[in-house]
């Protein structure tokens, strides 16, 4: 294996959730490795900030919970670059937490719409294009919650577990037409999403996650972006239907 195998030079790459956090870090990592980017998010202001941090890129303001928006973003990638080589479905929200008995229908629907339906729409639109090309790599963002099943995060966890099984089904369907589909399940990462709330609470959660990690560490968005880069590159050409777990050892499923 050579360093060149981790390059993605010239690959048309669409990244959802690119305005901040893991999505922004993914955009930077893939840009540094030579990708041509389509940056997608509903946060136009921060999306423009990401655009300034990368090389060849265009932006699309879109809400991934809306199928038409996702199709439009994929169509834009194809019209602008002529093809779609990599689809990174990173966009996600934490949404309402608390006991299962406290979650109302609106809170349930919002988390599932972004974290599960949004990924489904991305996989669906990308498969239609990549299947015709007979090539492509789709990378979905799950969470260590699929292994830890934390109390108080039922909706988030079940949405991310859905992403993991969707990845495996899509890998079965995509393989015969040359499309690889894989998943990344990060552990606790310091991002704008995880830093919301009261400072004392944030510090307590971070300290707890450090204690749970054999490395005594929490993640940086770049740590997760590196996993996405690997799956986007030819270095992972023999990998599909898998879930990578950059989680600092906080979960070690068999």
- Residues classed as catalytic: 143, 156, 160
Sign, Cα dihedral of 134, 137, 141, 147: positive
Alpha carbon distance 81, 41 (integer Å):
19
Alpha carbon distance 106, 175 (integer Å):
36
Sign, Cα dihedral of 196, 199, 203, 205: negative
Alpha carbon distance 44, 23 (integer Å):
14
Strand, coil or helix: 249: coil
Alpha carbon distance 11, 129 (integer Å):
14
Estimate to the nearest angstrom the gap between the alpha carbon of 198 and the chain centroid.
Answer: 26
């Amino acid at each position: 294996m050579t360093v060149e195998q981790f390059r993605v030079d010239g690959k048309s790459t669409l990244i959802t959730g690119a305005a901040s956090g893991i999505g922004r870090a993914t955009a930077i990592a893939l840009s540094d490795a030579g990708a041509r980017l389509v940056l997608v998010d509903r946060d136009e202001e921060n999306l423009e900030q990401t655009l300034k941090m990368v090389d060849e890129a265009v932006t699309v303001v879109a809400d991934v919970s809306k199928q038409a928006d996702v199709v439009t973003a994929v169509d834009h990638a194809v019209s602008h670059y002529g093809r779609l080589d990599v689809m990174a479905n990173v966009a996600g929200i934490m949404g309402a937490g608390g006991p299962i008995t406290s979650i109302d229908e609106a809170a349930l629907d919002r988390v599932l719409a972004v974290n599960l339906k949004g990924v489904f729409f991305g996989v669906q639109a990308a498969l239609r294009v990549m299947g015709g090309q007979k090539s492509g790599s789709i990378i979905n963002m799950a969470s260590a919650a699929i292994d830890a099943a934390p109390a108080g995060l039922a909706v988030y966890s079940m949405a991310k577990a859905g992403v993991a099984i969707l990845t495996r089904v899509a890998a079965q369907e995509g393989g015969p037409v040359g499309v690889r589909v894989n998943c990344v399940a990060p552990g606790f990462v310091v991002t704008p999403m995880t830093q919301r709330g009261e400072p004392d609470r944030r510090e307590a959660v971070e300290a707890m996650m450090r204690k749970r990690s054999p490395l005594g560490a929490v993640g940086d968005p770049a740590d997760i972006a590196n996993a996405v880069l690997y799956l986007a590159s030819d270095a992972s050409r023999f990998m599909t239907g898998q879930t990578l777990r950059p989680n600092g050892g906080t979960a070690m499923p068999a």
